[in-house]
Amino acid sequence: MRSLGSGDILFILAALRWTLLLSLAAFAGGAVGGLLVALARSGRVEALRWAAFGYIKLFQGTPLLMQLFLAFFVPGIFGISVDPWGAAMLGLSLHASAFLGEIWRGAIETVPKGQWEASAALGLKYWRQMRLIVLPQALRVAIPPTVGFLVQLIKATSLASIIGFVEITRAAQVINNAVFQPFTIFGLVGLAYFVICWPLSAYSKRMEQRLAVARR
């Protein structure tokens, strides 16, 4: 056992960039998948609605840890090699797409039925109704819960350490095993998460308040 040095602190802080990169990559992947899920859930094709419903229930009803394990080990069964980064990004993206899809479906359904009827009366087809009328209105409603979910996703990246991905939590575990100063090390990690997540949480709350005022 040795003492905690400045190099150890820098190693932990350097791993923070992987937490941020993984969060952004997973959110981007989840946004693409989530939009498809939301459109399928609110669409007119019954088979797609049920498929999207099943997808959401599957990923919302199972632990994220299990999803990461499956993303890491299942491709190997088919002879596909996946590194921890790829598995973590895949697992978190699939997880995020289920939650974002449901969030955005709810936002789409807040658009008054009259907006649909008016756009149909103007001769707009379904996809143009979505693109020009519905989605711009739903976007405003969706921002607060979407930012709130991003905060949860950032914290969820810590679970990627279980499949060997070295983000800030895993880096802290490695250093703590060498110096055994958990209060200092994990206190620093907690502070790092707070500095990242608190501004996002405050922004989400402020947007919720603005939306509430606008609805009055």
- Averages of pLDDT over runs of 10 residues in the chain (216 residues) are 80 93 96 94 89 95 94 88 92 96 92 79 79 84 92 95 92 90 92 94 83 58
Residue carrying the six token digits 């190997």: 76
pTM score, whole prediction: 0.90
Task: Please enumerate in sequence order all residues whose Cβ is within 8 A of that of 23, keeping only pairs 6 or more positions apart, or say none.
Answer: 150, 153, 154, 157
- In angstroms, the Cα distances linking 183 to 56, 145, 188 are 38, 32, 8
Place of tokens 């103007």: 122
For residue 77, which amino acid is it?
A: I
- Neighbouring C-beta atoms of residue 78, cutoff 10 Å: 6
Q: Cα separation of 7 and 20, whole Å?
A: 21
The answer to whether the CB of 20 falls within 8 A of the CB of 192 is no
Domains of the chain with bracketed CATH: 6-215 (1.10.3720.10)
Q: How far is CA 58 from CA 1, 36, 62, 157, in A?
A: 44, 16, 6, 20
Q: How far apart are CA 120 and CA 130, in angstroms?
A: 11
Q: What is the three-class DSSP state of 77? A: helix
| pLDDT value at residue 124 | 78
d(CA 12, CA 171): 5
Cβ-based neighbours of 84, under 8 Å, separated by 6 or more = 72, 160, 163, 164, 165, 166
For residue 3, how many other CB atoms are within 10 A of its CB?
8
Q: How many CA atoms lie within 13 A of 158 on its CB side?
A: 12
Assigned token pair, 185: 């090390």
According to the model, what pLDDT value does residue 215 have?
Answer: 56
Which of 154, 147, 148 minimizes the C-alpha distance to 26? 154
